[in-house]
Amino acid sequence: MLREIGFAMTAAGLMVASLAHANQNQLELQQNPEYWATQLGNYQGNRYSELDQINRDNVGELRSAWQFSTGVLRGHEGGPLYVGDGRLYIHTPFPNKVFALDVEDEGRVVWSYEPDQDSRVIPVMCCDTVNRGLAYADGRLFLGQSDNTLIALDAETGELLWDVSNGDHTVGETNTMSPLVVHDKVIVGISGGEYGIRGHMTAYDVETGEQVWRGYSTGPDDEVLIDPETTTMLGEPIGEADLGVSTWPEGEWERGGGAPWGWITYDPELDLIYYGTGNPGTWNPEQRTKDGEPADNKWAITVFARDPNNGEVKWVYQKVPFDEWDYDGVNENQLIDVEFEGEQRKGLAIIDRTGFGFLLDRESGELLVAEKFAPETNWADSYDMETGRPNVNEQYSTYRQGVGVNTTDICPTAMGAKNMQPTAFSPKTGLIYAGINRICMNYEPFETEYIAGQPYVGATLTMMPAPAQDGDMEGRLGSFIAWDPVAGETVWEIDERFAVWSGALATAGDLAFYGTLEGHVKAVDIESGEELWRFKTPSGIIGNVNTFMHEGKQYLAVLSGVGGWAGIGLAAGLEDPEEGLGAVSAFSALGDYTKLGGVLTVFALPD
Amino acid sequence: MTVFIGVSGRSLILTAVLGLGLPLAGFVSPAVADEHRVTGEAPGAFVVEDDRVDPNTYEGYIAYTRVCMACHGPDGLGSSFAPSLIRAAERRGWADFAGTIAAGREVQPGQVMPSFADDPYVLANMENIFSYMRARGEGGLGRGRPKIIESMQEETEAPQEGAESDEAVHDEKADG
């Protein structure tokens, strides 16, 4: 129903829009339920498919149609695109190969592309050489290479159309994210929060690769593209100028991180893009105080709503002022329309690093809901809904505990209660489906010195499984949950041995899909969470489960290939909190279950 | 109570059972300090005492965490794509370990140990990293950030080879 209205509106809007903006092709494609034209399925980031050929009655018969080895070993994030031309477009981690595979010929390689990159970028990537995938519009594929080169390829031939440098890996800037095409611009952020970089979001012309605008995450208003008179915070104008400078000790904003390396979502009606910024530079909070007092370090860990045409900031919401835990605020902003206290609201929901599930009004930036989806979360007891600030628990404040003090049993860990793995939202159930991490940490800040191109971390941390409640799987490190974003409650939960680091999918076939770090793809009943089907791929899954229809047949496709931060932190297992320092871990080591290797697996029902 | 002292090239492991009623520090420090001074020049020397370590090995932990952990995993344990350096330090001698850091190693395209030959911080800390890895292996040092053996703290006052980040050590001292 909703989709039909969407079609009609697009058709009517196209004539006008094509005059104002060169390119509405991506919007058109993603409104066709047979396609998977953008990494998150649609601009709203819903990862929801209207397809129901595969449904809860027949999913048990789902089987592998064909598999394709990428020949690349490290962590495979992101997923395949399908835009109706009979091909799947996939990418790999460094060296960032791109393949066009023939869906009708069991994945025959139609063309492939491999950029030539300086391998010195590898050691400055904090958390494996991952890449979250391609973007597509109007016959062009866009890819952000590890070395910050943004490229456009001709989707027909794989020929390079243009390339442009978005950053400098010799100072620790790298790229892991998937760009997003909005109108005639391709928009991309940057990684490097662990190297003291200064984060930015930048738009390039899809035709030429020319830079159109850049908005920084820290620094003076004219570089962040804030107008303190019109840009709002919790519904009110910011008022004070240059908070991106004044909320830092002298000059620290220049290495203040705020790297926006996660997903971008977009509301075509409001014409606003949404994304979150990462941690504020060094993990040692002491070095980010001002006059000996905690300072907000704006605009790190902040949700930005920007005009995609010129980058101007409509509103901001800082989720964690003065970070003390590396709660990198990049998690995707799901755009969902909800009924809140009897009123229809244009909502924005976040399953956040912090363990809190947020709901905001995406037009005004007002905070509506902030409740824990990971019940072990203890760094803050709650959020003050008036000020939008967390009520931090002193016991777990690494700043209050001090430099050189090991603050123990903080939940969640710096990996976050959820990391980059994107969530799904079903308009039929009104619920968000999310793979989450159930891991806590000890965190010890230490003084560190900034040297360009070298890690600027300033804290050591050790991780352990989150405490289990009665009925939970013993020693579990992850869960897959159904979350009510309005009530702020978990509806059902499935425990998993390891963090669930793959992107979820929800479908009109009453199914939710996700992958596990051991390498299973699982289908569960979207209402109850009951497992209905599983398939073991050759390696752990940190990619996203995507679906599409070709010649009347629905397919499911996922990249497996373990790695990412999960592959670094969990490979050897975690410490048992009950044992002393140095005890052999009683908890599962990922390395006992899975090894490297990138493979695309495509599934379908038997003919 | 166990004290491990490792020396590169040969391995000297002292296991002292302290049922003697002697204060630990009194028993250990002179021996440790002597041993440390004598072998200070040898790459891979380390002292482990109840999960506390000598200042150089501590520097090795800090350098490892800053530079190596992102690929080789927490506490030298390895990751899904890079090997455990504890094992590497055991199996390869100092020359091979240092040579790999300096020259890098291409296992296959995309799986690359980069060269750190142009990184003065890493070069200055190679011996300390090697000490930390041997302490983790032969020395039985546990996971996580070790503390420095208190009686060896003052040695950090003297200028150390490659201790560019010894502010962390000073902080320890200020705190302790």
Catalytic residue, candidates A221, A267, A326, A495: A326
Task: List Cα–Cα distances, A296 to A5, A277, A590, in angstroms.
Answer: 43, 14, 37
Task: Give dist(CA A75, CA B110) in Å, integer.
Answer: 11
Residues of A in contact with B74 (CB under 8 A): 462-463, 568-569, 572
Place of tokens 């790695």: A563
A272 in contact with B, Cβ within 8 Å? no
**Confidence at B14, pLDDT banded by 50, 70, 90:** very low
Higher pLDDT among residues A153 and B82, named by residue: A153
How is residue B142 written in tokens? Answer: 């546990």
Q: Does position B38 have pLDDT exceeding 70, yes or no?
A: no
pLDDT of residue B115: 85
B146 neighbors B58 (Cβ within 8 angstroms): yes
A18 touches chain B (CB under 8 A): no
Instruction: Name the pLDDT band for B156 (thresholds 50, 70, 90).
Output: low
Q: How close A156 gets to chain B, by Cα (Å)?
A: 26
What pLDDT is stored for residue A583 in this prediction?
Answer: 40
Residue A259's pLDDT band (cuts 50, 70, 90): very high
Q: Is the per-residue pLDDT at A517 higher than 80?
A: yes
Higher pLDDT, A185 or A454: A185
Contacts of B167 in chain A (CB under 8 A): 446-449
Considering only CB atoms, B80 lies closest to which of A119, A404, A596, namely A596
DSSP letter for A463, please: E
Number of A/B CB contacts below 8 angstroms equals 130
Confidence of residue A11 (pLDDT cuts 50, 70, 90): very low
Check whether A17 has a pLDDT greater than 50.
no
Q: Which pLDDT score is estimated for A47? A: 98
pLDDT for the residue numbered B155:
54
* Interface predicted TM-score (ipTM) over 0.85: no
**Cis link prior to A606 (omega < 30° from 0)?**
no
pLDDT digits (tens, 9 = 90+) for B85-139: 999 999 988 999 999 999 988 877 667 788 888 888 899 999 999 999 999 999 9
**Mean pLDDT (whole number) for A432-446:** 95
* Chain A CB within 8 Å of residue B117 CB: no
Chain A hits for B116, CB-CB cut-off 8 Å, are: 123
Q: Give the pLDDT score at B28.
A: 31
Question: Please, which pLDDT band fits residue A197 given cuts at 50, 70 and 90?
Answer: very high
User: Is residue A13 scored above 50 in pLDDT?
Assistant: no
**What is the predicted pLDDT for the residue at A52?**
98
Tell me which amino acid residue A21 is: H
Instruction: Examine the pLDDT at B8 and tell me if it is beyond 80.
Output: no
pLDDT value at A581 more than 90? no
Which residue in B140, B144, B168 is closest to A446 by CB distance?
A: B168
Q: Does B71 lie at the interface with A, CB-CB under 8 angstroms?
A: yes
Taking 70 as the threshold, does the pLDDT of residue A10 lie above it?
no
Residue A83 CB coordination number (10 Å):
24
Pair A146, A96: CB distance under 8 Å: yes
Which domains can be identified in chain B, with CATH numbers?
3-175 (1.10.760.10)
What pLDDT, on a 0 to 100 scale, did the predictor assign at position B131?
Answer: 96
Is the predicted pLDDT of residue A3 greater than 50, yes or no? no
Calpha distance A148→A117 (Å, rounded): 10
pLDDT over 80 at B9, yes or no: no
Residue B120, chain A, CB below 8 Å: the answer is no
For residue A372 the two structure tokens come to 């824990």
Domain span at residue A233 reads: 2-604
Instruction: Find which of A14-28, A125-139, A510-524, B74-88 is predicted with most confidence, using mean pLDDT.
Output: A510-524
pLDDT for res A9: 43
pLDDT band at B154 (very low <50, low <70, confident <90, very high): low
Prior bond of A95 cis (ω within 30°): yes
pLDDT digits (tens, 9 = 90+) for A155-192: 999 999 999 999 999 999 999 999 999 999 999 999 99
Q: How many structural domains comprise chain A?
A: 1
pLDDT in tens, A293-351: 999 999 999 999 999 999 999 999 999 999 999 999 999 999 999 999 999 999 999 99
Does the pLDDT value for residue B56 go beyond 50? yes
Asked if A460's CB is within 8 angstroms of B144's CB, the reply is yes
What integer is the mean pLDDT of A373-396? 98
* pLDDT at residue B158 tops 50: no
Q: What pLDDT, on a 0 to 100 scale, did the predictor assign at position A8? A: 42
Query: In the predicted model, is pLDDT for residue B21 greater than 60?
Result: no
Per-chain mean pLDDT for chain A: 93
CB–CB of B110 and A95 under 8 A? yes
Give the distance from CA A92 to its chain's centroid.
Answer: 17
Looking at chain A from residue 189 to 248, which residues have their Cβ under 8 Å from any Cβ of chain B? 194
Task: List, in sequence order, every beta strand (DSSP E) within A427-527.
Answer: 431-437, 439-445, 459-465, 478-484, 489-496, 505-507, 511-515, 520-525
Q: How confident is the model at residue B71 (pLDDT cuts 50, 70, 90)?
A: confident
Q: Is B175 on the interface with A (CB under 8 A)?
A: yes
Q: Identify all chain A residues contacting B81, using CB atoms and an 8 Å cutoff.
A: 73-75, 128, 563, 567, 596
The minimal CB distance from A460 to the residues B78, B145, B165 is found for B145
**Residue A447 to residue A562: CA distance in whole angstroms:** 33
Q: How far apart are CA A453 and CA A91, in angstroms?
A: 27
Active site residue A222: no
Say what the pLDDT of residue B157 is: 47
With beta carbons under 8 A apart, name residues in chain B contacting A403.
171, 175
Query: Residue A303 maps to which CATH number?
Result: 2.140.10.10
Q: Can you tell me the mean pLDDT for B140-152?
A: 91
Whole-prediction pTM value?
0.88
Distance (Å) from the C-alpha of residue B97 to the closest C-alpha of chain A?
17
